[in-house]
A and B are shown apart, each in its own frame.
Chain A
Amino acid sequence: MKDRNIFDILGNAEDDSMERLTEKCPDITDEQIEKIIAMSEKKYNAKKKEILKDRTEKDNYINMTENDTVEGVERVHRPVWLTPLATAASLVLVAGVVLGSMAMFRKNKTGKIDTGVIEPAVTATTTQVSGTTQISTDKNGSTITTTVTTTSLSKTTGKADGTGAAGGASGSAASENEEIKALAGQWKYQESQYDFIPGSITEKGTVVINEDGTYSYNGTNETGTVKIGVEKMGGSSLKTVSFYNGSSYSFGGYYQNNEWISIGNGGISRLVRGSKADTSKDAEYISYQNTAKSLIEKYYDTHYQIMFRFPQYRNMNDTITFNLRDPNLEAGIRDVTYARITGKGLELNSKADVENYARKVYSDSLAAKELEYLNDDYVVISDTYKNGDHIDETGVALEDLLAFKNFIFYKGNMYVNTSSVQAGWLGYTSANEPIIISNVTSTSFRAYAPGIWGENNMGCDIVDFVFEPSVNGWRINNLQPENYSVYGENLPGLDS
């Protein structure tokens, strides 16, 4: 059998099994019933409205009385002007589709932003220098050469089709020049799937924007021209910044502020500088993430409700077997094999070891609540028994029988019941999504940690940590498993 929650087998049940599962289904709360009724009514009314509208439209054309017979041929008058009109409409439609498709293909170029404004394809600035040189002699008889230089700027703007006007700078071009000058400097090109949380950022390189409107990007070793544009969207205007490598569009996006240009439409890439590019606090954030991850993993090891993750540390080369009472069997007894917990660097030999391990994870207040349950599953077996011995459990209550315990202590070592299938029921923190850290103070912080339970069940644990001065370290004070949607709701947002 695969390592998985055996209860997953109950999914896709056939009718008889489904009946049995329905009997044990938790009752639906009044709140849930009201919610379902409201949602169902809304959907039902929308569907009904649609159907009735359809029926009414059809009924308006029919006027019949009972026992009427329908016969004959329906005459349809088709106006003579309809054909040329339909032909013209078809042509307009075809032209629209063709032009629309072209526009869409242009838009779908990677990261391309439609500025809605025809941009000049080439902007050249010419500097003309003229001067006069004067030579004179000072009072000491030395020769002094003075050069007076006059500089003038002229701008030539050309369109992509080769047309364009040459001569003096226009007002808008001057304004664009100013805007580009404001962007001049070094920018970091970053990518992140998770709102640029530290630990999720990939640095793609550096983009240098020059005051003359050129740029260089060392991520792809390209150079080119920067263009500023405007995109109209829903009544508001967005400033766009486009980077052209030669005449072809390379990348671009929306100007957000003087330290942030988003690249493309998805918010996955961006150019940043200044405080936005400051990574000096990332190391601290990542250290909180690492602390959280390490403690949450240990919490999964020890958490009572998933019956401990210790079985995965068992050493099957170091086992002990006892013949134990089992009232579930006809024979009334069976051999139960236990394996020592010595794998993966974890060696536990006493209850104190288990408690100490747990206390590396739990705060004192959480330990007070949780550790009482740790004791339920442990039994100490006397050293007088030898491997293979039968242990007489006459009169022992059902729930205290050794065969039903997960762990035993024997001759100073801790063993786990190898009948356990629990190693396949584990939860673990997700490898992809970075943990979100929030509410950091000197004595506490909160983590939103995406996790996987069983095979595919994604969730998000809300974990509160406190600083325990007695051990001079962080501990989990509370862990609340929630739906995965909680993770998305707590992402910091792109402008954070």
Chain B
Amino acid sequence: MTSYELKAMLERSPAECHRALVKEYGKYVYAIVFNKLRICGTKEDIEECVSDVFADIFFKYEFDENCDRDIKGYIATVAKRSAIDRFRSLTSRNNHTVYSDDDDMQELVSDFSVDERVDRSELRRVLLNKIDELGEPDSTILIQKFYYNRKSSEIAKSMSMTDASVRTRCSRAIARLRTKLAEAGISR
């Protein structure tokens, strides 16, 4: 979907356009918001934030004449900023101390050194590489299980597998990942 297609659809039917936007980019926005709020927010906080993002986007596309922008990049920026705002309000409300290494959140972690940030960013890539090396469906099972905190039964349903099979694959995949990480020098 291009910006001009979006604008045309908006003129035809705003409701249809909004629905199309959520269907097309809902998962993308959810993933970005989840990434920022997974430690401090509840499921309801995340959904609330996702709806803030879309309300903002609906509004911008209707009232902002300058619509020839890259939709996905624009949505990502709005999602990231909204999630960071929500993160700040949640952490100040809950008084949580949360790991954070995002450029936009440096003021929240004043004792965070640059070296550690670089290492962490690299660590993230290594971890994702090692998870990808496990191949499918194991890499998706692990990410959904331990990062997105989904239940085995939910993963099983979405991947057309049995609960038991998800559990077994999960156990074996984590053991293999552990080995891979140990070899890469990542261990306790």
Q: Do A and B bind each other?
A: yes
Q: Which residues of A contact B (CB under 8 A)?
A: 1, 3, 5-18, 20-22, 24-28, 32-33, 35-37, 39-44, 47-48, 51, 304-305, 307, 326, 328-329, 334, 372-373, 376-377, 399, 403-406, 417, 419-424, 455-457, 481, 483-485
Inter-chain contact A13/B124, CB cutoff 8 Å: yes
Residue of A nearest to B42 (CB): A483
Inter-chain contact B128/A11, CB cutoff 8 Å: no
Give min CB distance, A328 to chain B, whole Å.
Answer: 6
What residues on A are CB-neighbors of B150 within 8 Å? 26
In the assembled complex, B9 has its CB within 8 A of some CB on chain A: no
Inter-chain contact B35/A456, CB cutoff 8 Å: no
Give min CB distance, B98 to chain A, whole Å.
Answer: 7
Give min CB distance, A116 to chain B, whole Å.
Answer: 32
Give min CB distance, B161 to chain A, whole Å.
Answer: 14
Inter-chain contact B55/A11, CB cutoff 8 Å: no
State whether A37 and B18 are in contact (beta carbons under 8 Å apart), knowing that A26-B148, A51-B63 are contacts in the complex.
yes
Inter-chain contact A11/B171, CB cutoff 8 Å: no
Inter-chain contact A26/B128, CB cutoff 8 Å: no
Inter-chain contact A48/B59, CB cutoff 8 Å: yes
State whether A25 and B27 are in contact (beta carbons under 8 Å apart), knowing that A18-B35, A419-B182 are contacts in the complex.
yes
User: In residues 63-83 of chain B, which contact A (Cβ within 8 Å)?
Assistant: 63, 76
What residues on A are CB-neighbors of B50 within 8 Å? 36
Inter-chain contact B39/A8, CB cutoff 8 Å: yes
Inter-chain contact A47/B27, CB cutoff 8 Å: no
Given contacts A15-B76, A27-B158, A404-B176, 12 further A-B contacts (CB under 8 A): A9-B127, A11-B39, A21-B143, A22-B32, A28-B27, A40-B52, A40-B54, A41-B58, A307-B171, A329-B183, A376-B171, A399-B172
What residues on A are CB-neighbors of B36 within 8 Å? 11-12
Inter-chain contact A26/B176, CB cutoff 8 Å: no
Give min CB distance, A427 to chain B, whole Å.
Answer: 12
Residue of A nearest to B32 (CB): A18
User: In residues 97-118 of chain B, which contact A (Cβ within 8 Å)?
Assistant: 98-102, 105
Inter-chain contact A305/B152, CB cutoff 8 Å: yes
Inter-chain contact B52/A18, CB cutoff 8 Å: no
Inter-chain contact B44/A485, CB cutoff 8 Å: yes
Inter-chain contact B179/A44, CB cutoff 8 Å: no
What residues on A are CB-neighbors of B127 within 8 Å? 6-7, 9-10
State whether A12 and B35 are in contact (beta carbons under 8 Å apart), knowing that A27-B158, A406-B175 are contacts in the complex.
yes
CA distance A32 to B19 in the complex (A): 12
CA distance A11 to B171 in the complex (A): 23
State whether A419 and B148 are in contact (beta carbons under 8 Å apart), knowing that A11-B36, A485-B42 are contacts in the complex.
no
State whether A22 and B28 are in contact (beta carbons under 8 Å apart), knowing that A8-B99, A419-B182 are contacts in the complex.
yes
Could you pull out 15 A-B pairs where Cβ atoms are within 8 angstroms?
A1-B186, A9-B120, A18-B76, A25-B27, A26-B158, A27-B27, A39-B51, A41-B15, A41-B55, A43-B51, A44-B55, A304-B167, A376-B171, A403-B175, A417-B178
Inter-chain contact B179/A326, CB cutoff 8 Å: yes
Residue of A nearest to B187 (CB): A421
| Among A22, A307, A417, A457, residue most surrounded by chain B Cβ atoms (within 10 Å) | A22
State whether A10 and B124 are in contact (beta carbons under 8 Å apart), knowing that A1-B186, A33-B26 are contacts in the complex.
yes
| Among B133, B150, B175, residue most surrounded by chain A Cβ atoms (within 10 Å) | B175
What residues on A are CB-neighbors of B124 within 8 Å? 9-10, 13-14, 17
In the assembled complex, B168 has its CB within 8 A of some CB on chain A: yes
What residues on B are CB-neighbors of A456 within 8 Å? 39-40, 96, 98
State whether A10 and B172 are in contact (beta carbons under 8 Å apart), knowing that A26-B144, A28-B27, A456-B98 are contacts in the complex.
no
CA distance A455 to B148 in the complex (A): 15
What residues on B are CB-neighbors of A37 within 8 Å? 18-19, 22, 54
What residues on B are CB-neighbors of A485 within 8 Å? 42, 44
Residue of B nearest to A457 (CB): B39
Task: Give a binary string over B149-182; 1 marks a CB under 8 Å from any A CB, 0 the rest.
Answer: 1111011001000001001101110111011111
Inter-chain contact A405/B175, CB cutoff 8 Å: yes
Residue of A nearest to B175 (CB): A404
Inter-chain contact A40/B18, CB cutoff 8 Å: yes
What residues on A are CB-neighbors of B187 within 8 Å? 1, 419, 421
What residues on B are CB-neighbors of A39 within 8 Å? 47-48, 51, 55
What residues on B are CB-neighbors of A11 within 8 Å? 35-36, 38-39, 99-100
In the assembled complex, B140 has its CB within 8 A of some CB on chain A: yes
Give min CB distance, B164 to chain A, whole Å.
Answer: 7
| Among B59, B63, B179, residue most surrounded by chain A Cβ atoms (within 10 Å) | B179
Inter-chain contact B55/A43, CB cutoff 8 Å: yes
CA distance A491 to B174 in the complex (A): 37
Give min CB distance, A56 to chain B, whole Å.
Answer: 14
CA distance A304 to B18 in the complex (A): 43
Inter-chain contact A43/B23, CB cutoff 8 Å: no
User: In residues 1-55 of chain B, which contact A (Cβ within 8 Å)?
Assistant: 15, 18-19, 22-23, 26-28, 30-32, 34-36, 38-40, 42-44, 47-48, 50-52, 54-55
Partner of B179, one of A8, A13, A404: A404
What residues on A are CB-neighbors of B98 within 8 Å? 456
State whether A24 and B140 are in contact (beta carbons under 8 Å apart), knowing that A10-B124, A406-B175, A456-B39 are contacts in the complex.
yes
CA distance A307 to B113 in the complex (A): 33
CA distance A28 to B55 in the complex (A): 18
Q: Give the 10 A-B CB pairs with smallest separation, nearest first.
A: A39-B51, A43-B55, A40-B54, A404-B175, A22-B31, A25-B31, A12-B102, A24-B143, A44-B55, A7-B146
CA distance A44 to B176 in the complex (A): 47
| Among A39, A334, A485, residue most surrounded by chain B Cβ atoms (within 10 Å) | A39
Partner of B128, one of A10, A40, A403, A406: A10
Residue of B nearest to A459 (CB): B149
What residues on A are CB-neighbors of B34 within 8 Å? 25
Give min CB distance, B12 to chain A, whole Å.
Answer: 17
Inter-chain contact A3/B188, CB cutoff 8 Å: yes
Inter-chain contact B55/A328, CB cutoff 8 Å: no
